[in-house]
Structure 1
Amino acid sequence: MDCIARVFTVGNGCKAVRYDDETTVERVLQVVLQGIGIAAVAHAHFALRLLSGPSPKTAGDHVWLHPYLLISNLRHTYAKFLPPSSCPQDLNFELRLRFIPQSAYELLLTESNAFFYLNEQVFEDFLGHVAWKVSLEAALELAALKVCRDCLEKQVKSCLDHKIDIDAVNMDSAIQAFIPKSVLCGGNIKASTYFPSALRRQFTQLLKKFSSLSPTESVLRSLSILIDIVKFDVEIFKASMGVRFFLHSAWLW
């Protein structure tokens, strides 16, 4: 009997993969990566982690999975980790770019789609977990870079001129979407539907500054800011040492 593995990707994406008693974690990885256009040369950079909740945002914890594990054995192997389910054969995973080269530019040269996946993953981690660390200036710059990339992507899909129409950007919506409330509050700015004209003017200037950047240049600039905030080239994990737990970090290259 075929069962379903749901694999969450960046940008709120989700891929459903059927598996049987012989399906490995590696096989599910291959199917999902091929489905989102990641070439085989970059597959070794990716890994799956098993989620304890229905999605990455609601999962309280996760477990990294070895590629040779059988999907059908996971419910038994991680019985204490996974909550009871009315459909125990259905499992939830998250696709992560885990093993990062020494530089993001190296990844760009190897596989551009993996490079852009890394950027989306890091930006989501920034918004979801460590945004409180950043200054308002850095947050504005990251938001402006993101808005410019999104505008370019929409224009490419619509076969429009590759120029960003600054006047068409809803400044307040963009600020609200991409600048964390904690950062705005730290700058004594009330998060609301409308923001101070000085903030919108500063954001507009940054949009004009970055509007001429290509998507690749924009991502490289964004990652150069985020690497000191998100620390995406370092992994923190728990290691059991008897009755106590210690945090360790490991370089992922």
Structure 2
Amino acid sequence: MSTSRTSAELEQSPRRSRGRPPVPLDRIIATAVSLLDEEGADALSMRNLAQRLDSGTATLYRHFTGRAQLVAHVIDSVLAEAHVDDDALDAVTWQQACEVLAHSLFDVFRRHPHVAPLLVEKIPTGPNAMAQREQTIALLLKSGFTAPLAAQACATLARYVLGFATQLSPPDAGAADHGEVWQTLDPQAYPATVSVADHLPVPLEQEFAFGLRLLINGLSQVAHQGN
């Protein structure tokens, strides 16, 4: 008996699936950011992300060579939220502009507290990160900073923001609350600390703003000295 099939029979038979349909890159990144925000960096894997997208990992590998490249795209997508228009910076002093840029970036890390720890060991070089770095360095050069000082000032400001942002990560479950420890100290053993106990602990956002002003004031003095 012949096993050949006519062209009509072939047309009527179901075709084999060619795999899952592609997922737009912007949807993948948005879903990855949500996964990172909700479950943390350890949960941001190719497998977990594929499950959230109701797709397969092969779909992700069409866009990324692996998790490292995925994370780089996620970081740069989040950094885009820190964008500040040049017009807003041109309307203020360079000191105020630096504060605006630093607070804008810090606010982004506060909305996405799991992002900052991903930057501790790797300097971001995505298009949004590069644009922000370019904006800050251009601002400093325009304000009279020498090239070496502008480069160092930009790096120091970025490290300062990142250092505070890493403390925004949610604490471990069951961590002790030390909010009242200052009120119960022995005044004989710690008289100075007890005398300021009503002002402790200093809120992180307040400490960030205070330290940022000190840093920028220090940069003003160094720039004025021409170093």
Q: For this structure pair, what is the TM-score category when the shorter chain's length is used for normalisation?
A: under 0.3
Name whichever structure is richer in helix by fraction.
2
| TM-score normalised by the chain length of structure 1 | 0.24
The structure with more radius of gyration: 2
